[in-house]
Structure 1
Amino acid sequence: MAGTNDSQTFRIAISGYYGFRNSGDEAVLRSILLALKEEGDKQGMRVEPIVLSADPAWTTAMYGVEAVHRMKPGDVLRAIRSSHGLISGGGSLLQDVTSGKTIPYYIGIMKLAQWLGKPTFAYAQGIGPINRRSMDWMIRSAMRRSKYVSVRDAESAALLGRIGMPLDRIDVVPDPVMGLPLPEGSPAAEPRAGADETPPVIGVSLRRWREDGADMVRAAEALVALSKRRPVRLRFLPFHTPSDRVTSEEVMERLSGRLGEGSTAELAAPGDDPQAMLLEVSRCDALFGMRLHALIYAANQQIPMLGLSYDPKIDQFLNRLNLRPIGTTESLDAEAFADEACALLGAPEAWRSKHGPAIETLKQQAKNPAQQILQILRQYRSR
């Protein structure tokens, strides 16, 4: 690697849903940080991230980077002013389903950077759903003034196109987490179940969506149906604590006393580190996932998966692997689920042979945004 000096040091502010200890979003941040460091090393550049976080002390302790509070205007202003550019993303930042304040916040951060003369970059964004058309002009303005825009699926690109962003300026890339490695020093993967009588491990990632809980009732019935076909070890993986932990415990309570002979249910506690959760997923024989990043983790490690859709982003990701959801929060057939799960457990290598090439392509493409952003920053600074 070429030696670095002050002229090759780039401070980059990073805006996203960080510091909330949501495993999926924290995995996005970890993936972006690793990609920037790897690409910076290749290009002879030193990258100094500044993360806008809901919990700066925790973010600094977790990732070893500078962080400021995302809701303190003075801190945000100083962080962006001291940077050479701003990355917005990844994740589903530009949508108005969770809150009408989400889009104004993230676009506001981008516009602030642009007003300060800093180049902005959209990093593997998931765009939409956007129900309030009054948001279009804000998004169009910020994106058209950005130096590089990448989205994580074709549907997001099409939505930006309808808003008024030229399609030839949009790079469609995978979610950054497709490139996330296992923790350094991770033990070698244990042999998959099947060689002996050990029940296969089924990772289960659920989130409460319907207010009446009917979706979780159907998920529990599907898991019961599978357990009665063959012994399984259901390992619940809470991606967003404490909410997913509570949901997992409620579903496990529904399973109590109903599982087939030889089947068990347990709750994993991998901690806050997203790579620890990736390691948990890597030890599964199959995964039943509702959280997007649970499915992405499974793809990352080529773990056969069954996705339960609650949002178009689930369908969009599965489509990139030539897969379809096993059901939705409105409809899930327990026996059809058991049929498909048994088929995956019976022929995992056939699944990997069929979907592995698409997965490997996505893992390679996940590196594109970091490459593009650092090249642009070098050119921008040399002017």
Structure 2
Amino acid sequence: MRALLSGYYGKGNGGDEALLATLLQMLPSHVTPVVLSGNPEETSDRYGVESHNRMDFLPVLQALRSCDAFIWGGGSLIQDVTSTISPFYYGGLMGLAQKMGLKTVAWAQGIGPLVRPQTRYLARQNFSGCTKVSVRDRVSAALLSDWQIPYILAPDPVWALQAKPFPGLADLPTPRIAVTLRNHPQLTAPRLANLTQALVNLQEATQAFILLIPFQKSEDLAIAEAIQPQLKDVSQILCIEEPQILKGVFRSVEMAIGMRLHSLIMAASEGCRCFALSYDPKINRLMEDLSIPGWDLANITDDANVITQTWLEYYTSSKPLSSEQIKFLVDGAFIHQKLLTEALSVTK
């Protein structure tokens, strides 16, 4: 069986690459993956798979014709807040696959926000036509329940991604604090300046070595480069391309401060304490589910000393998730694998 995998792949986003790596890890052995990517050569080299340009219509159509199944491969693909085009792109591919008679799977989806009636209608049609659907949060599950569409709810698959050690991490000073910020309208210049000053204060108070980790170079690297000179000799920017190693870097980190959803998931799954800076409802859902402390960026205090004190109290007095909690979430994430096995069974 051949399955066409569609997601925000090959765009340099560590979270989406982690979803792809986990999906490939979970695919049944009789399934040959074909991946649509923004950088098909890189995707083929990294994962050893057949890959095609996600925006080149003719190869995409030919790939669909050559496959038996089509999979939305995780993440917030179906939402119309950060992109009005995204739900139509992914929805159009799903609709085409369904018309062509392929088995179709919506895998590990975080649905919404959907604020436009037309995208909401398209999403409902897409999900209702799927062979199997799994979602990663309660809000997505509630939406499907309202639509009377069967689904499975399980933790984000990246909880179950097999991590690899980061080479050279042992050579960096300890203790360590990881920071993952991204470009976003809510991260204004004054807010970034306050966060940077708070981070400088936190480093002085803890004597921790700061790891600045861009999850997507195009969105995150410039911010890391703006912060790093303020932490000269006590910080390092780590640009890590392989998702398993990106997850593994959090294994020896005391605390993670993150805007990126999957930076928080990776950190928590590796036993690291987390503090969230939310710009999106999906971050708030994770904060609620795991009782992760944090702030909405839109409402964050403009007093750097208050930020520092909050971080310092959390650094000195909090505990990471217990090994039992982590095991529960990892085991739960494998429910997404069970769904793939059922949906992609050889019998039709």
Work out whether the TM-score is over 0.5.
yes
The answer (yes or no) to whether the contact 2:279–2:296 under 8 Å persists in 1 is: no
2:233 is the counterpart of 1:242:
no
The 2-side partners of 1:102 and 1:83 are apart by 23
Per the alignment, in what secondary structure is the counterpart of residue 294 of structure 2?
coil
Partner of 2:347: 382
The answer (yes or no) to whether the contact 1:151–1:157 under 8 Å persists in 2 is: yes
Partner of 1:233: 209
Partner of 2:81: 97
The answer (yes or no) to whether the contact 1:19–1:53 under 8 Å persists in 2 is: yes
2:253 is the counterpart of 1:269:
no
2:255 is the counterpart of 1:286:
yes
The 1-side partners of 2:78 and 2:118 are apart by 13
The 1-side partners of 2:166 and 2:306 are apart by 36
The 1-side partners of 2:67 and 2:340 are apart by 14
The 2-side partners of 1:51 and 1:27 are apart by 14
What is the CA distance between 1:329 and its match in structure 2? 4.1
Per the alignment, in what secondary structure is the counterpart of residue 77 of structure 1?
helix
Matched letter for residue 155 of structure 2: P
Q: C-alpha deviations, 1:200-254, integer Å up to 9, x for none?
A: 210000012127423312321321331342312111001001321111111234x
Partner of 2:24: 33
Partner of 1:157: 141
What is the CA distance between 1:77 and its match in structure 2? 1.5
The 2-side partners of 1:358 and 1:248 are apart by 31
Per the alignment, in what secondary structure is the counterpart of residue 89 of structure 1?
strand
Matched letter for residue 267 of structure 1: I
What is the CA distance between 1:173 and its match in structure 2? 1.3
Gaps of at least 5 residues in structure 1 are 1-9, 258-262
The aligned runs of 1:95-134 (5 Å cut-off) are: 95-134=79-118
- Counterpart among 178, 187, 193 of residue 203 in structure 1: 178
- Counterpart among 233, 257, 274 of residue 305 in structure 1: 274
What is the CA distance between 1:75 and its match in structure 2? 1.2
The 1-side partners of 2:100 and 2:23 are apart by 23
Indicate the percent of aligned positions where both proteins have the same amino acid.
34
**Distance change in 2, residues 1:127/1:74 (3 Å):** same
**Distance change in 2, residues 1:361/1:292 (3 Å):** same
Partner of 1:370: 337
Partner of 1:12: 3
**Distance change in 2, residues 1:337/1:165 (3 Å):** farther
Q: C-alpha deviations, 1:113-138, integer Å up to 9, x for none?
A: 10100111111111111121221111
Q: C-alpha deviations, 1:263-300, integer Å up to 9, x for none?
A: 82221132x21122112222311111111111011012
Task: Name the count of aligned residue pairs.
Answer: 346
The answer (yes or no) to whether the contact 1:215–1:329 under 8 Å persists in 2 is: no
The 1-side partners of 2:157 and 2:320 are apart by 23
Q: CA RMSD in A?
A: 2.4
Per the alignment, in what secondary structure is the counterpart of residue 122 of structure 1?
strand
Matched letter for residue 45 of structure 2: A
Partner of 1:61: 45
Bigger Cα displacement from structure 2, 224-233 vs 286-295? 224-233
Greater gyration radius: 1
Q: C-alpha deviations, 1:9-51, integer Å up to 9, x for none?
A: x211110000111111101100110111xxx2xxxx4221001
The answer (yes or no) to whether the contact 2:98–2:104 under 8 Å persists in 1 is: yes
What is the CA distance between 1:189 and its match in structure 2? 8.8
Gaps of at least 5 residues in structure 2 are none
The answer (yes or no) to whether the contact 1:308–1:329 under 8 Å persists in 2 is: no
Partner of 1:172: 153
Provide the TM-score with structure 2 as the length reference. Answer: 0.91
The answer (yes or no) to whether the contact 2:166–2:245 under 8 Å persists in 1 is: no
Provide the TM-score with structure 1 as the length reference. Answer: 0.84
Partner of 2:194: 218
Per the alignment, in what secondary structure is the counterpart of residue 210 of structure 1?
coil
Bigger Cα displacement from structure 2, 325-334 vs 21-30? 325-334
What is the CA distance between 1:363 and its match in structure 2? 0.8
Per the alignment, in what secondary structure is the counterpart of residue 120 of structure 1?
strand
- Counterpart among 132, 139, 143 of residue 127 in structure 2: 143
